[in-house]
Each structure stands twice: as C-alpha cells, then as structure tokens.
C-alpha cells in the first residue's frame, strides 16, 4: 500500500507540473498586445513600440510589429495599412533595422500639450547606430482613442556610427 501511495503521489506531482507548464505556455503564447489608453504617457508609447520591435517574434511571429500598429495614429494606419502592408513596410529597407535591435535610447526633444518629439537612437544587430525622429500626438477625436498618445511619424533612419 505504501508503494502505491508513493507512485500516486509522484504521479500527481508529475501531472501537476505538466499542467502548470502547459498553462504557463498558453498564457505566454497568447500574451495580449498593449492597447492605447489615456493613462499611457508619450514616452511609454515609444518605449512599448521599441520594446516590441526589439523582440519582434516573441511570443509570436510579428508580435512586435503588431504592437507598433496598435499605437499608430488612425491616419497613419490609413496611409500605411492594412496590417499586412504595414508589416511589409517595417520589414523593408528603411525600418528593418528596428527589428530585433540590440538597444535603444529615447531622448525627448520638444513637448507641447498635444505633440511630443523624440530622438531615438537604435543599435542594430550589426552594431551600427541609427537615429530616428519619432513623433507622438494626443488623439483629439471622440471615440475609444480620445486622449490617447499615438505615433504620427517615424523618420527614415540616419546612420550614425559603428559601436566597434
């Protein structure tokens, strides 16, 4: 009887561990994108987007690009979308250096009540620094995005130097 109890107890522990790991995988694999809301400050918008691009395919393919799309101003989405076209644009020559980059630095250049300008320095996978001008605006129109900070412009990259 003791042997059966030990086997059952170990079996129960084993099954519990398997269920826990499966649950953690499902939770991680289905991580929700961060949605714009009025409590997210302009700096945080840029940081959320850059962090997504830094780990673009985690937890799923193009997750980082989709995160950027969430914080793109509706006018930008209209001009660069739909999402599949936006994904192609980000993977194109001008912006692909943002994908899986090694590091970034965000510097506020100018702030008004409705617009904030940033200088973003990115260290790409080849250890080359690039500068981007990044602009976010507070959405003024009624609706679910009212008073949310959204990206309205990201410049083409300006190569700076190598880190080597």
Question: What is the tally of structural domains in the chain?
Answer: 2
- For residues 88 and 136, membership in a common domain is answered with yes
Instruction: Write out pLDDT tens, residues 33-54.
Output: 999 999 999 999 999 999 999 9
- For residues 51 and 127, membership in a common domain is answered with yes
Instruction: Write out pLDDT tens, residues 79-136.
Output: 998 999 999 999 999 999 999 999 999 999 999 999 999 999 999 999 999 999 999 9
Residue with tokens 């790409």: 124
Q: Give Dmax (Cα) for the chain.
A: 75
User: What is the distance between the alpha carbons of residues 49 and 130, in angstroms, rounded to a whole number?
Assistant: 16
- Residue 56's Cβ-side half-sphere holds a number of Cα atoms within 13 Å equal to 17
The average pLDDT across 19-42 equals: 71
- For residues 56 and 69, membership in a common domain is answered with yes
Range of the domain at 116: 34-162
Q: How far is CA 131 from CA 15, 53, 76, 151, 156, in A?
A: 51, 15, 21, 16, 9
- For residues 95 and 151, membership in a common domain is answered with yes
The pLDDT, as a whole number, for residue 2 is 55
- For residues 7 and 71, membership in a common domain is answered with no
């Amino acid at each position: 009887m003791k042997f059966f109890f030990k086997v059952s107890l170990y079996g129960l522990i084993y099954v519990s561990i398997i269920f826990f790991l499966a649950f953690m995988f499902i939770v991680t694999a289905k991580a929700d994108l961060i949605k714009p809301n009025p409590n997210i400050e302009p700096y945080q918008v840029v940081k959320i987007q850059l962090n997504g691009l830094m780990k673009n395919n985690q937890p799923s393919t193009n997750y980082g690009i989709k995160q950027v799309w969430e914080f793109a101003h509706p006018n930008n989405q209209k001009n660069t979308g739909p999402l599949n076209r936006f994904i192609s644009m980000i993977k194109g020559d001008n912006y692909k250096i943002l994908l899986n980059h090694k590091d970034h630095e965000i510097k506020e250049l100018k702030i008004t009540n409705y617009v904030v300008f940033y200088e973003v320095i990115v260290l790409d996978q080849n250890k080359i620094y690039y500068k981007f001008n990044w602009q976010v605006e507070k959405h003024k129109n009624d609706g679910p995005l009212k008073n949310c900070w959204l990206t309205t412009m990201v410049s083409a990259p300006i190569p700076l130097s190598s880190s080597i």
